[in-house]
Chains A and B, each alone.
Chain A
Amino acid sequence: MKILVIEDNLELAQNITEYLQREGYVCELADSHAKAVNKLGAFAYDCVVLDIMLPDGNGLDILRFVKNEKIKSCVLIISAKNSLDDKVIGLELGADDYLTKPFHLPELNARLKALYRRKYIQGDKEIFFNEIHINMDTMETLVNKQLLELTRKEYALLVYFLTNKNRVLTRQSIAEHLWGDYADNLLNFDFVYQHVKNLRKKIIQAGGKDYIETVYGLGYKFNANRG
Chain B
Amino acid sequence: MKLVFKFAIWYLVITLLALAIGGVISYREIKEEVDFEQSLYLKGKLDAAVRRLSRGMHPDSLARHNMEIQQLDFARPEMNFRVTDTVVMHKFLQRLEQQIKVSASYKVNGKHYYIAAYDGMVESDDITDAVIKSITGIFIVMLVVTGLLSYLISKHLLHPFHSTLRAIRAFTLRQKEPLQLAPTRTSEFKKLNLFLQHMTEKAQHDYSNLKEFTENASHEMQTPLAIIRGKLELLMESEINDSQAKLIMSAHNAVEKLSKMGQSLILLAKLENQEFETPGKIDFSRILSDNLLAFEELIEMKSITLKQDIAENVELSIHPVLADILLSNLMSNAIRHNYMEGRITVTLTKKELIVENTGDPLKVAPAEIFKRFKKSTQADDSVGLGLAIVKQICTQNNMLISYSYSGSEHQFRLQF
Interface residues of A (CB under 8 A from B): 9, 11-12, 15-16, 18-19, 22, 80-82, 84, 101-106, 153, 167-168, 170, 172-173, 181-182, 184-188, 190-191, 194, 215-218
A104 touches B233 (CB 8 A): yes
Cβ–Cβ contact A191 & B297, under 8 A: yes
Residue of A with least CB distance to B253: A172
Query: Which residues on the A side are within 8 Å of B276 (C-beta)?
Result: 84
- Report chain B residues within 8 Å CB of A19: 230, 233-234
The answer to whether B266 and A82 have CB atoms under 8 Å apart is yes
In Å, the complex CA distance between A172 and B234 comes to 15
Asked if A185 and B329 sit within 8 Å, CB to CB, the answer is yes
Given known contacts A80-B223, A185-B328, A218-B249, A170 and B231 CB-to-CB distance under 8 angstroms: no
Given the complex, which residues of A lie within 8 Å of B225, measured CB to CB?
102
Find chain A residues with CB under 8 A from B246 CB. 217
Which residues of chain A are within 8 angstroms of B386 by Cβ–Cβ distance? Answer: 185
Interface of B with A (CB < 8 Å)?
A: 219, 222-223, 225-227, 229-231, 233-234, 236-237, 242, 245-246, 248-249, 252-253, 255-256, 259-260, 263, 266-267, 276, 294-295, 297-298, 301, 321, 328-329, 331-333, 335-336, 381-382, 386
Which of A11, A22, A153, A168 lies in contact with B227, CB distance below 8 A? A11
> Given the complex of chains A and B, what is the CA–CA distance between A186 and B329 in angstroms?
10
- Known contacts A80-B222, A80-B226; is A188 also within 8 Å of B381 by CB? yes
- Chain B residues within an 8 Å CB radius of A167: 237
Bound-complex Cα distance A216 to B77 (A): 143
Q: Can you list 12 pairs linking A and B with CB atoms under 8 Å apart?
A: A12-B230, A82-B267, A102-B222, A103-B226, A104-B233, A105-B233, A105-B234, A181-B328, A185-B331, A185-B335, A194-B301, A218-B245
Q: Write the nearest CB–CB distance from A25 to chain B, whole angstroms.
A: 15
Chain B residues within an 8 Å CB radius of A105: 230, 233-234
CB-CB under 8 A from B236, the residues of chain A are 168, 170, 215, 218
The docked-state distance in angstroms from the alpha carbon of A11 to that of B321 is 32
Q: Is the CB of B226 within 8 A of A102?
A: yes
Complex: chain A residue closest to B386, CB-CB: A185
Query: In the complex, what's the smallest C-beta–C-beta distance from B225 to chain A, in angstroms?
Result: 5
**Contacting residue for A15 out of B231, B248, B295, B331, CB 8 A:** B231
- Tell me how far the C-beta of B249 lies from the nearest C-beta in chain A, rounded to whole angstroms: 5
> Which of chain B's residues has its CB closest to A168's CB?
B236
Asked if residues B336 and A187 are in contact (CB atoms below 8 Å), the reply is yes
Taking CB as reference atom, which chain A residue is nearest B232?
A170
Which residues of B lie under 8 Å from residue A104 when comparing CB positions? 229, 233
- A106–B333 Cα gap in the complex (Å)? 29
Q: Are A102 and B259 CB-contacts (below 8 A) given A12-B230, A80-B219, A218-B248?
A: yes
Q: In the complex, what distance in Å separates the CA atom of A209 from the CA atom of B110? A: 168
Cross-chain contact A185 with B259 (CB below 8 angstroms): no
Given contacts A194-B301, A215-B245, A216-B245, 15 further A-B contacts (CB under 8 A): A11-B230, A12-B227, A16-B230, A19-B233, A19-B234, A80-B219, A80-B222, A80-B223, A82-B266, A182-B295, A186-B332, A187-B336, A190-B301, A215-B236, A218-B248
A190 to B331, CA, bound (A): 18
